[in-house]
Amino acid sequence: MPVTARRKLSWSAYGSFLKNAGHDANSFGHLKVTHVPKPGVVEAEMVSLHGGLTSSLVDSMGSLALSSRGLWMTGVSTDINVTFVRAAPLGETVRLQAHVIGQGKTLAYTRIEMFSTKTGKLLAYGSHTKYIALALKSEQNVTFSEDGETQVE
């Protein structure tokens, strides 16, 4: 799969999460980001599941969905909600999909869904609201072509 400009920025943002040695660096030893299919969407796989980790993933995946729109700094969380639909057995691989469902001048809203790759069933879903007014002013933000293949700014 070719490395698009959007994917390159999302990987850089993810690397920054890990480098800062916060909860992201300590939680995601088995996280594998698979691809960024379109603006505002990120998918990932991991091999174990815990409710606290699911909440952290809602936080981080929402941020990565925003980075796929060109934001280097993805803002500050103002609200995170997670609903656990069904348990995933230890060792089950899950797929996460994060969408930016709204973005304004001060707030951005994301929705994250976690599915079993074995059954396709929904395991959990969450929403994540972020304050982005300052993040929108970052000089490290970029603009992508419509297809996300190239960086235009």
Helix, strand, coil share of the chain (percent; to 5): 25, 35, 40
pLDDT score of 21 more than 60 = no
Cβ-count burial 17-28 (b if 16+ within 10 Å, e if not): beeeeeebeebb
Tokens found for residue 65: 């969905």
Q: How far apart are CA 69 and CA 23, in angstroms?
A: 23
The owner of tokens 């594998």 is: 32
For the stretch 94-147, pLDDT in tens is 899 999 999 999 999 999 999 999 999 999 999 999 999 999 999 999 988 888
Phi/psi at 13 (5° precision): -65, -45
Could you tell me the maximum CA-CA distance found in the chain, to the nearest angstrom? Answer: 44
pLDDT band at 27 (very low <50, low <70, confident <90, very high): low
pLDDT score of 39 more than 80 = no
> Whole-model pTM above 0.95?
no
Cα–Cα distances in angstroms (integers) from residue 8 to residues 12, 18, 36, 38, in the given order: 6, 15, 10, 13
Spatial CA neighbour of 34 closest among 95, 93, 88, 92: 95
pLDDT score of 40 more than 70 = no
- CATH number of the domain at 5-137, out of 3.40.50.720, 3.40.50.300, 2.30.130.30, 3.10.129.10? 3.10.129.10
For the stretch 57-95, pLDDT in tens is 899 999 989 988 888 888 999 999 999 999 877 777 889
Spatial CA neighbour of 2 closest among 31, 32, 35: 35
**In this predicted structure, what is the pLDDT of residue 105?**
97
Domain ranges (residues) in the chain: 5-137
